[in-house]
Amino acid sequence: MLRPMKITQAILPVAGLGTRFLPWTKVVPKELLPLGKEPIIAHIVDECMAAGIEDICFVISKGKEKIPEYFYDDPALEEELKRRGKHSLIEPLKRYSKLNFHTVYQRDQLGDGHAILQAKDWVQSDYVAVLFGDDLFTGAKPGIAQLKEVFEHHAKGEGAIVALENVPRENTNRYGIVGIRGEDPTDPRLKIVSEMVEKPDPKDAPSTLGIVGRYIIPRSTFDVLPTVQGSHGGEIRLIDALIAQLAAGMPMYGYACDGTRVDTGTPEGYARALKVFESIGN
Ligand code: UTP
């Protein structure tokens, strides 16, 4: 039996081809596009930091090495800035120095679950956070911090928790949608999930609560992921593993996160995200 414990590790799968951003993504990973003062991926790492998660594993594909590189110390650059008297520029460069970064490769793009599977041997704890780069949260408390807090407090034994957003019914076919069988009386944002359906037709959707880019999963999910290959043209998807675990009786929670979510996964969404971040001066 797994024990509830502190979540200290996060997997950031960023190995996707980014086809919706072609031809840009031939040379620039979409995760390095600027948003406010930082690239998109730095907002995700900041989100981990704000949640007290200091062990981060990037799952990358060939050509995306600049993503982890962005976070590494650069002593030669610091030395040069010192020599030029630009001392104020040095401190911000050290921002990530207390985090532990690790990188693994996903050689073939066989789905988000397959990407997560590449980090299996790196995971030390009973639970691990997963953050997908296309969804960003603005607001006082970032999405993963909200999940972590509620999960560490409520989960007993094995289980998983997903971030939820109430989406327009006509858009349910773009999300994993959950059915719920109750909510926590002390915190109605915390839902007990009874079913999960990937991209249902609006008329078939069990609710309008869509899963958005943040998860805390138990280590057992890594054993289930290889068994769900093939349901989507040979891809392994995280949601299919969670659906299988839910069917096998694993408790599943959802948390309707507070704050605004922006989707940077499409050029249109990215354009909107630029405006949101400009308006909050980030
Ligand atoms: P998406 O489904 O958005 O795919 O992946 P994508 O490649 O990023 O973008 P499009 O759809 O081709 O435009 C969701 C997340 O899962 C990662 C992506 O990098 C993204 O963070 N992913 C997806 C992988 O790491 N590997 C995969 O095989 C698929």
Domains of the chain, by residue range, sit at: 9-279
Closest CA to 267 of 25, 5, 3, 9: 25
Closest CA to 135 of 37, 28, 259: 259
Is there a contact between 136 and 111 (Cβ–Cβ < 8 Å)? no
- For the packed helices 143-154 and 40-50, what is the interaxial angle rounded to 10 degrees? 30
Can you give the pLDDT of all 282 residues of the chain as single tens digits?
Answer: 445 468 999 999 999 999 999 999 999 999 999 998 899 999 999 999 999 999 999 999 999 999 999 999 999 999 999 999 999 999 989 999 999 999 999 999 999 999 999 999 999 999 999 999 889 988 778 899 999 999 888 766 679 999 999 999 999 999 999 999 999 888 999 999 999 999 999 999 999 999 999 999 999 999 999 999 876 678 999 999 999 999 999 999 999 999 888 999 999 999 999 998 888 766
Nearest CA to ligand 1 atom 15: 132
> So what's the architecture of 9-279 in CATH?
Alpha-Beta Complex (3.90)
Tokens at residue 69, please? 């590189």
CB distance 18 to ligand 1 below 6 Å: yes
Closest CA to 189 of 163, 153, 155: 163
Sign of the alpha-carbon torsion through 82, 41, 266, 119: positive
Ligand 1 center from residue 134 Cα (angstroms): 8
pLDDT of residue 102: 98
Is there a contact between 92 and 46 (Cβ–Cβ < 8 Å)? no
CB distance 143 to ligand 1 below 6 Å: no
pLDDT of residue 2: 46
CB distance 115 to ligand 1 below 6 Å: yes
Predicted TM-score (pTM) of this structure: 0.95
Q: What type of residue is 7?
A: I
CB distance 47 to ligand 1 below 6 Å: no
Closest CA to 14 of 106, 129, 143, 110: 106
- Residue 129 β-bridge partners: 10, 216
Ligand 1 center from residue 175 Cα (angstroms): 14
pLDDT of residue 158: 74
- Which ligand 1 atom is at minimum distance from the Cα of 59? 25
